[in-house]
Structure 1
Amino acid sequence: MSSHSSFLAWDIWSEPHIVQWSWIDFMYNPWFCYCENSKRRFIEWLKRKYKDIEELNRAWYRKHRSWEEIVIPRYTSLSSFSDLLDWIQFNIEKIAEDLEWKVNLIKLSDKVHPVSSHCAISSIYSIPGISYGSSDDWILAEKVDIWGTSFYPKHTGPWMPLKPHQMGVALDATRSSCESRGKPFWIGELQTGTGVTGMLFSVPVKEKDVDRWAWLAVSRGAKGINYYAWFPMNCGYEVSEFGLTNPDGGFNERTYSAGRVSKIITENMDMFLNIKPLEAQVAILYDIEAYKLLACLRSQGAEIIRKDIFGIYKAIMRENVEVDFIHISDLNKEKLNNYKIIFAPFPISLTESCANSLKEYVKSGGVLIADGRIAWTNEKGWLTGKIPGFCLDEVFGCVENYMTELREPVDIEIKDFGKIKGVNYISSYTPTSGKVIGSYKDEKVIIENEYFKGKAIMVGTLIGLSIELGFNENIDFILKLLKDSGVYPYFEVKSDSLVEVRCSKSEKEGVFFVFNHSNDEQKIEINFKKELFSFIPKKLVDLKTNEEFILNISEDKFSFSLKIPPEDTRVLKIE
């Protein structure tokens, strides 16, 4: 098969995770897998981690006499969840090992073609290791030549349809996992037709959706797009939908829309292969240890962290500022120094090495914003001596007094700013070296601390989750944090509504991707300095319409204006 002239690459595992694609309706959210093979492999994994059964007993608070007595954890325990954390980590590593085995098997017979795989959606969206069981994109990206994601913005389910900032999180997180491992990023499956699962039907997919979703991926640096699928599903739980054509194979407007995208990319192939998104000044921490702890705390999902991330990203997206997602295993000094500010959403569990890296980042001049409860436990699920844990009480200049639930949103007064909303939880702190900048009633809930060359701010509520719940006053607070940290957009966008602008460039060319996410026509103006590109811009052409736009020049700035129809996209080549 690989010798065929049309053969491009191997996609050897579609959406590697634990999900069984079966629904056991007499059980609630069952976990997998507890067969003898899984047990045997888990015990071998434990033997590599613990030198003998006594060391495991100390970690698990057990009295096993031999490895054979070990029972795979099937539930959360009141006293300890060290065993469950091990089971989750085992499943993360098992999926990666299985993927690596498949890659090696393919490469035994084909050393020429690249081998790829792709996640169902970024692992930032869900809890790893149990239930639906996403793995860790950063680990999986290491195992293949090309890593990617499925992208179904109008699937069925409670998340759907994805809003613009939620689509951005899915794409930028996957891109970040690929870039961190030096791997190309592509879309393993791009939705082309209306979603259906059983008797649940999604919002209809339109031709402008197929166009916009493709360009959203390309604007994030995707180097390939695989559409799912040509024909609609003809049987099974997703019967009748997810197709680019009609059931009889006839073409429709979505078919032609995908064809037009393909034509533009093919005609400008070298340019799209060479351009890259602008460098990010901002990073959001992917703290997988916090996700694992949520599983042990019976949260039933990653919603609290996911929505906190959504809100933070939405605020940053308002300024069309690039965002990277950074894994806690990647916190080396060289990488961290690329960012002026790092957000750590609800980082309730950390490793000591991660805490030390964040400390050095702030010490060297970075700005760290944490919300919720940072380093409540270590990676073993054990309580740290203080909260913030490890060395981070010094960095944030405070110690937590308590954390309590909020039954309704509250107003937090910010010094020299105004009010923001607190939701779900609120924490009270005793400042040590930090100063109070936010209070709720008489409680000190936001602490700012100058630490050597940098600054750390401990926010005792979930600032991003508040935004996701509709409290937009928190957006202005995050934008103030960006400005105070020296983060400024590479270009200015003037518009009355929700218009997203992305820019990618190479040494010789650049592209502005303009997305009108609103239901109304928008008139926008984009201004940028000549330093944005390494060449002098002379020409601006819409690759979709071949319309040429006038570039206005004023001193060291360039500007141009355009109108964009509702829900439409512009792909503007600049050279």
Structure 2
Amino acid sequence: LWDVWNEPELSYPQRDGALDKLACYCDHCKVEFHSWLENKYKNIETLNEVWGRNYRSWDQVELPKSTLTFKDFIDWREFHGYTLLKEAKWRLAMTKELDPTRISYLHVVPNTTQPFNAVTTCMDDFEISKHCDVFAATMNNGPYFTPQVVSAAQGKVCYNVESHINGGTITMHQPVITLNDLLNDFLPQVGMGIKGFMFWQYRPEVLGFEAPNWGVVNLDGSDRVVTRSAEKFGKTLKPYNDKLMKSFPAQAEVAIWKSQKNEIFHYCEHGNFNSLANSINAYSDFLYKHSYGFNYVNSAMLNDLSPYKVLIMPSAYYLTQQEVDAIDAWVNKGGVLLSEAHFGAYNDNTGRHNYNMPGFGLDKKWGIEEVETSTTYRLKMPEKEEVNLQVVSDVQKFLDDFGTTGGKYVPVAMNDGTVLWGAFRFAKIQAEDATALGYFTRDYPTIVTKKIGKGKVWYCGTNIGEGSEKDKSGFNTFLTKILSESGVKTELDANKKDVWVKGLYEKEKLNFMVIRNMDKEASSVELKFKGKARGLFSGMELKPGEDISLPVEFCDLFVVE
């Protein structure tokens, strides 16, 4: 195999997003950027209209150094993504030309916005995977990295070619990795579709800050605990390798939308990715911990949402007309959409804020309208907080003079008696023939649901993903309700939070199950499947429908027969 690029990014080690440190403003980038813009907009008049400028020629176009007008800066960072993709394609094409019989790929650090993102590092996982024979990444287990890689691969075989489970520094030496540690990290990745692993690295580092760490063996070449753990792991799985390569997770029924443009927009707004990342991660955490299958989908993948029952769009402020058209068509055909406040309020096509929210005419099409918008910091609540956000000087002066009356979070009283917490954004919702689900004020609801064609929209007038940081109970209840009403089931009908379950199928035949107890205490779970199952590492034997007792930190791969 040819791995043509180790963790491609624009300007290592600059990853912190400081505006004055972003690359690159050299003359070469200026010339190429002008060419890229001309190819996109065709004429200077169109660029002027969208950017709100008055340039007379392409060579007058300035390289954006401010985030405050959005569209020009979004184009600027997307251009740098294009330059990275261009080089990646060149590297892959070169190996194919010189050695066409071997597999060519590169491996990314998955874009989870922190630290890899569309502004500083600029690699588009979804786009680059199209040009690789297989897809690979640096990663460890969890609800963010592996789902990102498998989703971006879009059906291609995926590998973890740089596991960091064994990492360390001169200050903090690497951990002692037991077999159970390895199982809890590697097996969930196997369950999500990863087909192989490689440690970074075999021998320990001896140069600089990362010495004397990362080795699967000791400095003198003798065995470590992780040496024996890795050997046991590989030998146990080896008889099943062929079957594992042919077995894949079931098609997910839930999708979470991730957009490069919306990501850059949030950077423009906040100066960082915290708000957006917290929102996306909240939904990912819930689905992962409750054993719901999910994928991330990018903007292009909205054109075919047929595999999914539910689409979650966290903090989807910035949209394109093409995205809105695809979503609207899918909902009308029977899809279920969960959206947060100010949906599609900023229009990428025009470079302007829409007059109504939700934007792009959806307020009329769907009969859902945000009649009054604000921020949670300006709501009248018993306790107020200081605003910890990036704001321009005029807004800061206003806040200094008048202060705040609220805080980051807003409690929404739900009809079922729970409290659903929202964050940052706030809107009152007016929707004819809709069901009001939750209120902050008495005059208009904050959360509504409404049938649209054959589908349904659950519209939240605040950011409930980010709001769940305050308390997750109402959030968990609300998502469970949406998924249940939409006909979405957990993996193998798993019935316990924090017991992670994943099946691997060859066509429709269940070949393997991964079961992991993530609870801090011993737990149990019931599963529905046909046949019987045997744990490769524990020796545990399972039958369908029985109560399966799981010790603390239990994780195993079960063969189903």
> TM-score of the superposition, structure 1-length normalised?
0.85
Could you say which residue in structure 2 is the equivalent of 1:6? none
> Residues 427, 202 of structure 1: CA spacing in aligned structure 2 closer, same or farther, 3 A cutoff?
farther
Pair 1:173 & 2:148 matched: yes
Contact 2:173–2:213 (CA under 8 A) maintained in structure 1 = no
Pair 1:279 & 2:251 matched: yes
Q: Shift of the alpha carbon at 1:127?
A: 7.0
The letter of the residue matching 2:239 is: E
Helix, strand or coil for the counterpart of 1:570? strand
Q: Deviations over 1:389-430 (max 9, x none)?
A: 113224553211213134153321122353212223322223
Q: Deviations over 1:411-468 (max 9, x none)?
A: 2112235321222332222324434221102242112111111110111122222334
- From 32, 55, 60, the equivalent of 2:51 is 60
Pair 1:135 & 2:103 matched: no
Could you say which residue in structure 2 is the equivalent of 1:573? 559
Could you say which residue in structure 2 is the equivalent of 1:162? none
Could you say which residue in structure 1 is the equivalent of 2:397? none
Could you say which residue in structure 1 is the equivalent of 2:437? 437
Q: How does 1:262-411 map to 2 (within 5 A)?
A: 262-297=234-269, 299-332=270-303, 335-380=304-349, 381-394=351-364, 396-400=366-370, 401-406=372-377, 407-411=407-411
Q: How far, CA to CA, are the matches of 1:19 and 1:517 in structure 2?
A: 37
The letter of the residue matching 1:187 is: N
The letter of the residue matching 1:99 is: A
Q: Shift of the alpha carbon at 1:262?
A: 1.8
Contact 2:376–2:409 (CA under 8 A) maintained in structure 1 = no
Count residues in correspondence.
Answer: 527
Q: Deviations over 1:340-399 (max 9, x none)?
A: 211111111111111111111111111111013210112254111311011322455321
> Residues 469, 112 of structure 1: CA spacing in aligned structure 2 closer, same or farther, 3 A cutoff?
farther
> Residues 340, 56 of structure 1: CA spacing in aligned structure 2 closer, same or farther, 3 A cutoff?
closer
Q: How far, CA to CA, are the matches of 2:173 and 2:347 in structure 1?
A: 41
Q: How far, CA to CA, are the matches of 1:490 and 1:384 in structure 2?
A: 40
Q: How does 1:119-268 map to 2 (within 5 A)?
A: 119-123=108-112, 125=114, 128-131=117-120, 133-152=121-140, 167-179=142-154, 182-196=155-169, 201=172, 204=175, 206-207=177-178, 208-268=180-240
The letter of the residue matching 2:374 is: M
Could you say which residue in structure 2 is the equivalent of 1:544? 537
Could you say which residue in structure 1 is the equivalent of 2:401? none
Contact 1:396–1:434 (CA under 8 A) maintained in structure 2 = no
Q: How far, CA to CA, are the matches of 2:14 and 2:419 in structure 1?
A: 47
Q: How far, CA to CA, are the matches of 1:409 and 1:61 in structure 2?
A: 35
Q: How far, CA to CA, are the matches of 2:190 and 2:282 in structure 1?
A: 23
Alpha carbon RMSD of aligned pairs, Å? 2.6
- From 75, 87, 90, the equivalent of 2:79 is 90
The letter of the residue matching 2:2 is: W
Contact 2:434–2:451 (CA under 8 A) maintained in structure 1 = yes
Q: How far, CA to CA, are the matches of 2:215 and 2:183 in structure 1?
A: 15
> Residues 147, 124 of structure 1: CA spacing in aligned structure 2 closer, same or farther, 3 A cutoff?
farther
> Residues 205, 382 of structure 1: CA spacing in aligned structure 2 closer, same or farther, 3 A cutoff?
farther
Helix, strand or coil for the counterpart of 2:419? strand
Q: Shift of the alpha carbon at 1:542?
A: 1.2
Pair 1:106 & 2:95 matched: yes
Q: How far, CA to CA, are the matches of 2:16 and 2:356 in structure 1?
A: 43
Greater Cα offset, 101-110 or 420-429: 420-429
> Which structure exhibits the higher relative contact order, with contacts defined as CA atoms closer than 8 Å and separated by 6 or more residues?
2
Contact 2:521–2:552 (CA under 8 A) maintained in structure 1 = yes
Contact 2:140–2:146 (CA under 8 A) maintained in structure 1 = no
Contact 1:349–1:377 (CA under 8 A) maintained in structure 2 = yes
Helix, strand or coil for the counterpart of 1:559? coil
Q: How far, CA to CA, are the matches of 1:395 and 1:234 in structure 2?
A: 63
Contact 1:502–1:513 (CA under 8 A) maintained in structure 2 = yes
> Residues 237, 203 of structure 1: CA spacing in aligned structure 2 closer, same or farther, 3 A cutoff?
closer
Unpaired runs of 5+ residues, structure 2, are 378-406
Could you say which residue in structure 1 is the equivalent of 2:450? 449
Q: How far, CA to CA, are the matches of 1:22 and 1:491 in structure 2?
A: 43
Helix, strand or coil for the counterpart of 2:217? coil
> TM-score of the superposition, structure 2-length normalised?
0.87
The letter of the residue matching 1:49 is: K
Helix, strand or coil for the counterpart of 1:362? helix
Q: How far, CA to CA, are the matches of 2:458 and 2:446 in structure 1?
A: 10
Q: How far, CA to CA, are the matches of 2:366 and 2:55 in structure 1?
A: 42
Could you say which residue in structure 2 is the equivalent of 1:471? 472
Pair 1:518 & 2:480 matched: no
Unpaired runs of 5+ residues, structure 1, are 1-8, 154-166, 531-536, 552-557
Q: How far, CA to CA, are the matches of 1:387 and 1:28 in structure 2?
A: 30
Identity of aligned residues (%): 23
Q: How far, CA to CA, are the matches of 1:515 and 1:295 in structure 2?
A: 36
Q: Shift of the alpha carbon at 1:35?
A: 2.2
> Residues 430, 94 of structure 1: CA spacing in aligned structure 2 closer, same or farther, 3 A cutoff?
same
Contact 2:310–2:338 (CA under 8 A) maintained in structure 1 = yes
Q: Deviations over 1:217-266 (max 9, x none)?
A: 11111122222111233224433333323333332112222222222332
Helix, strand or coil for the counterpart of 2:483? helix
Could you say which residue in structure 2 is the equivalent of 1:554? none
Q: How far, CA to CA, are the matches of 1:351 and 1:233 in structure 2?
A: 47
> Residues 211, 529 of structure 1: CA spacing in aligned structure 2 closer, same or farther, 3 A cutoff?
closer
Q: Deviations over 1:34-81 (max 9, x none)?
A: 22222222222122123234443343333444433333222324xx33
Contact 1:230–1:245 (CA under 8 A) maintained in structure 2 = yes
Q: How far, CA to CA, are the matches of 1:21 and 1:125 in structure 2?
A: 14
